[in-house]
Amino acid sequence: MAATREQVIEACKKCFDPEIPVNVWDLGLIYDIQLQETGSIFVKMSLTSQFCPAAQQIPNQIRQQISQDCGTQEVEVEVVFEPAWTPERISEEGKKKLGIQEA
Q: Using the predicted structure, report yes or no on whether residue 103 has a pLDDT greater than 80.
A: no
CA separation for the pair 81, 67 (Å, rounded): 24
pLDDT at 1: 67
Domain 5-85, CATH class in plain words: alpha beta
Mean pLDDT of 10-33: 96
Mean pLDDT of 20-26: 95
The pTM of the full predicted model, rounded to 2 decimals, is 0.92
Radius of gyration of the chain, Cα coordinates, nearest whole angstrom: 13
Q: Using the predicted structure, report yes or no on whether residue 102 has a pLDDT greater than 70.
A: no
pLDDT at 2: 82
Q: Using the predicted structure, report yes or no on whether residue 72 has a pLDDT greater than 70.
A: yes
Considering the chain, what percentage of its residues have pLDDT values greater than 90?
A: 82
Taking the domains of the chain in order of start, what are their residue ranges? Answer: 5-85
